[in-house]
């Protein structure tokens, strides 16, 4: 059996840095690459992006919604994207944000992260907002298969504030309770656990305490949603320990030229590694 997700992610980040490159084939982006708005255009867009970003970033996050929007043909393209990213040497975090009662979660788990799952991703995004316990079995079967989960805790969108900052009876915020539940699953794992959390790069510093998490933190909102490298440092600390800053549109707008897309991804990777000026 291959190493667990936490260990594979740590190795990939050590080799390539922490950038999580998103593949979000927005209709406007497909058209801006001069491609038709159909399954053939989606395929050329997404496979080109997968090849380039899969050879630059440590982990690539295809957003399933943009593939599902094209129907079964789009979903078939998503499957090829996963294979292409793997062939290029990166891990795949499939962004599906599933969340349901436990018995239904078992089917989503079989689709995405269990042993012999229908899609061969390394990890998937899930929502804990039917109660974190509804994800417990998914955590167990992902772990058994050597895969991971990223649980939404404090998301990057402004509509999330009221719900995720609300206080429980014990005084913790809802978002903090999600982080704490993930931490329980990760306790004692080395180099770190396989249950990540999502904390948007746009979130105000000090809102969420990640010190006990012992797992990866996906930080979308970096780039197109306005968060900068300086914001990441203010939020997560200077070394960005365990943090995977995620950017989709802000990278993809540099296509269709593969060289330009590769240079854009490398530039961001270098900024994150602190080898360049942070550029703002």
Ligand X SMILES: O=C(O)c1cc(=O)[nH]c(=O)n1[C@@H]1O[C@H](COP(=O)(O)O)[C@@H](O)[C@H]1O
Residues annotated as part of the active site: 97
Residue whose structure tokens are 């999600």: 178
- Cβ distance to ligand X smaller for residue 134 or 156: 156
Residue 200 binds ligand X, judged by CB under 6 A: yes
Nearest-CA neighbor of 230 among 36, 222, 8, 183? 222
Q: For residues 137 and 147, is the Cβ–Cβ distance under 8 A? A: no
Give the footprint of ligand X on residues 95-114 (CB under 6 A).
95
Strand 243-247 and strand 195-199: the pairing is: unpaired
Residue with nearest beta carbon to ligand X: 155
- Cβ distance to ligand X smaller for residue 24 or 43: 24
What is the size of the binding site for ligand X (CB under 6 A)?
A: 20
Return the range that interacts with ligand X (CB under 6 A); candidates 116-124, 186-194, 241-249, 267-275.
241-249
**Assigned token pair, 36:** 């038709």
Strand 217-220 and strand 243-247: the pairing is: parallel
- Report d(CA 150, CA 169) in Å as an integer: 25
Site string for ligand X, 152-181 (x = CB under 6 A): ---xxx------------------------
- Report d(CA 250, CA 262) in Å as an integer: 13
- Cβ distance to ligand X smaller for residue 225 or 258: 225
Binding site for ligand X (CB under 6 A): 22, 24, 63, 95, 125, 155-157, 198, 200, 220-221, 223-225, 246-250
């Amino acid at each position: 059996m291959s190493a667990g997700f936490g260990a594979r992610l740590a190795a990939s980040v050590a080799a390539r840095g922490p950038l999580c490159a998103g593949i979000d084939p927005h209709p406007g982006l497909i058209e801006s690459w001069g491609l038709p708005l159909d399954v053939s255009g989606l395929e050329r867009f997404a496979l080109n992006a997968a090849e380039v970003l899969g050879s630059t970033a440590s982990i690539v996050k295809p957003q399933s919604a943009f593939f599902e929007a094209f129907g079964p043909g789009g979903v078939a393209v998503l499957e090829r994207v996963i294979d292409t990213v793997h062939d290029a040497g990166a891990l795949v975090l499939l962004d599906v944000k599933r969340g349901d009662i436990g018995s239904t979660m078992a089917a989503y788990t079989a689709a995405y992260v269990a042993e012999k799952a229908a899609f061969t991703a390394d990890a998937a995004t899930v929502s804990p907002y039917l109660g974190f316990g509804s994800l417990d079995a998914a955590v167990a079967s992902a772990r058994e298969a050597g895969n991971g989960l990223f649980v939404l805790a404090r998301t990057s969108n402004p509509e999330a504030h009221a719900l995720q900052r609300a206080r429980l009876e014990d005084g913790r915020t809802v978002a903090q309770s999600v982080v704490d539940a993930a931490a329980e699953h990760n306790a004692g794992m080395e180099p770190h656990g396989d249950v990540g959390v999502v904390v948007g790069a746009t979130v105000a510093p000090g809102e969420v305490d990640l010190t006990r998490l012992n797992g990866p933190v996906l930080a979308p909102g970096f780039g197109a949603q306005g968060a900068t490298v300086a914001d990441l440092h203010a939020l997560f600390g200077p070394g960005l320990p365990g943090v995977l800053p995620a950017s989709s549109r802000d990278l993809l707008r540099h296509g269709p030229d593969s060289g330009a897309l590769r240079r854009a991804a490398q530039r961001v990777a270098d900024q994150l590694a602190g080898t360049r000026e942070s550029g703002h």
